[in-house]
Structure 1
């Protein structure tokens, strides 16, 4: 992460920091908050001894992969792979420069250069690091990169939607409460994204608008581990569930006793807790007619239900309709639909070319995410119908 103004990270309203030249006193060392301990690193932390990091108690790590669409961390591979080989759950983050290019373009760059995700239980969701403009002296822009709150929210949504289309899940968001309230106007539109909060203080404090809990707290910029010091707001088992895309973080009320062992091969176990959100299923997906005439109507439909118990219909939920052109490996979001009282959804498009259709439900506070199977449609030209 870039170094954020310390008083802002401590919760102070220190807008004048940009012109302040007086050195700030070092903050007193604070006790490590409860939770599973972790760290984040970039090229500024060369030669990390990952086995030593594991022995010292870290169980997860985030590694900077990219910045804007022009920078790739030259140490990314060694750091990312080193963390995994030492037994840490790890993920990648992207430092956003929203004045440089669009959100979708930066999501593409991030995904192609280390920001992918897999549900193996060892890969944390990619992170959008969106925070204070660290280049104000060179680009002459304010802390919000010269974007209005509306434009900033639109940029973040474009990044998130594109990452979802590429990776199959929403990114986590790294930010600071003061920056978020100022630069997004206090947008509450991203509460379904895991929150990684930066605040160097003895308590988490007020959260950005839209979130009722945080997943990760970056509580110090130095400590026992290289780089920034973090804690996951839950048990080790819940951290694994977050990595697998099966659960959001739950708050903890007492320190988590994660075993510290010299051998990274030792399995770390914590009391298992069942996910609090209900599993869902997107079924009966159909894209048609098939074949479809180029330029003519093509309708995608399906049903969203609970996956267990009564399997009742889930109404009033937004479903993303995704399309992958023939010969491509990239999904794009073609549109959205809202489920009716019977859990059914339907959206009509103009057929443009051959390809595969899929529906994705991102979940909410009560229900887990799910995706449908796929349906390939052959699109033809000429009067064959």
Structure 2
């Protein structure tokens, strides 16, 4: 009888242990589900915030940054520059060249029409990681229009499809070396350090430690740039601008300081 009683007690203990394990697995399952839901919410909020601002007035910064601008390339199709100027858009950076051979097909037209409408206009060059910096500078100098009171030339540094493909083969030091050649050549020719357009990732990887003299044009679609993240002067806050005078989405920008200080971005 004692032996049977012992076995019965053992069976009861096993059942109790199994129930405890089940509760542990249930808690773990709930934690995993909660974590997954939290991550999904974060991703949703990021996407929602990215597409939130389609105009200058939709942001909470419209009363803080008064100097407004756009940047365009041939992807932007028709633009009514006079309408943009009436809506207080003050400046425009226009893509002029890329690498050592590409010329934006709408650059000359956009340059003429934007200037006629009264905007301050600048040209930017899209930097290709694998092309020689000096040759890229020569290509920009040959085709870009940079006249007195135009904006300082700008260099676009980002991980585009072409740069992602080449970036896998190009070492960080090689990219920085060619960018230095491009920047230095433009500085020698124009007498002004070019503006550098970039995002937070590329800023940390290529710009932060080697280009302290260049005005920074930072892209951040989520947050107002941190003042510690470089000497930024222009903030690109939207890729999905939908403003009067445009047909397709257009990039929107704020200049950081006043209209008076904006003069520092102009050629003499």
Q: Indicate the residue corresponding to 1:331 in structure 2.
A: none
Deviation, structure 1 residue 32: 5.6
Aligned: 1:234 with 2:257 = yes
Among 45, 57, 60, the residue aligned to 2:88: 57
Higher strand share: 1
Higher helix share: 2
Between the aligned partners of 1:78 and 1:145, the Cα distance in structure 2 is: 36
What's the offset of the Cα at 1:48? Answer: 0.8
**1:358-369 superposed matches below 5 A:** none
Indicate conservation of the 8 Å contact 1:98/1:145, yes or no. Answer: no
Partner of 2:204: 181
Tell me the equivalent position of 1:109.
139
Contact 1:97 1:145 in 2 (8 A): no
Distance in 1 of aligned mates of 2:232 and 2:208: 16
Residue in structure 2 matched with residue 223 of structure 1 by the alignment: 241
Q: Is the 8 A contact 1:177 1:207 kept in 2?
A: no
Q: Deviations over 1:219-240 (max 9, x none)?
A: 0012244420001111112112
Counterpart contact for 2:73–2:104, Cα < 8 Å:
yes
Distance 1:126 1:219, change over 3 A: same
**1:96–1:128 contact (8 Å) kept in structure 2:** yes
Question: Do residues 48 (structure 1) and 79 (structure 2) align?
Answer: yes
Name 1:279's counterpart in structure 2.
none
Q: State the match for 1:306 in structure 2.
A: none
- Contact 1:174/1:198 (CA < 8 Å) preserved in 2? yes
Report the 3-state secondary structure (helix = DSSP H, G, I; strand = E; otherwise coil) of the residue aligned with 2:266.
helix
Measured after TM superposition, the shift of residue 207 of structure 1 is 5.3
Give the equivalent residue in structure 2 for 1:27: 51
> What number of residue pairs does the alignment pair up?
209
User: Offset of 1:165 from its aligned partner?
Assistant: 2.0
Once the two structures are superposed, the pairs formed by residues 1-385 of structure 1 within 5 Å of their partners are 27-29=51-53, 31=59, 33=61, 34-35=64-65, 36-99=67-130, 101-114=131-144, 116-118=145-147, 120-121=148-149, 123-135=150-162, 140-141=165-166, 144=167, 146-182=169-205, 184=206, 187-205=208-226, 208=229, 211=230, 213-225=231-243, 226=246, 227-244=250-267
In the alignment, the residues of structure 1 paired with residue 165 and residue 133 of structure 2 have an alpha-carbon distance, to the nearest angstrom, of: 21
- Answer yes or no: is the 8 Å Cα contact 2:51–2:240 preserved in 1: no
Residue ranges of structure 1 left out of the alignment (5+ in a row)? 1-23, 246-385
Structure 2, unmatched stretches of 5+, are 1-46
Larger C-alpha radius of gyration, 1 or 2? 2
Distance 1:207 1:84, change over 3 A: farther
Describe the shift of the 1:145–1:97 C-alpha distance in structure 2 as closer, same or farther (beyond 3 A): farther
TM-score (norm 2): 0.71
Q: Could you tell me how far apart the structure 2 residues matched to 1:223 and 1:162 are?
A: 33
Does structure 2 retain, via aligned residues, the 8 Å contact 1:133–1:145? Answer: no
1:60-90 per-position Cα deviation (integer Å, ceiling 9, x unaligned): 0000001111211111111011111111111
Does the C-alpha gap of structure 1 residues 207 and 174 become closer, same or farther in structure 2, counting only changes over 3 Å? Answer: farther
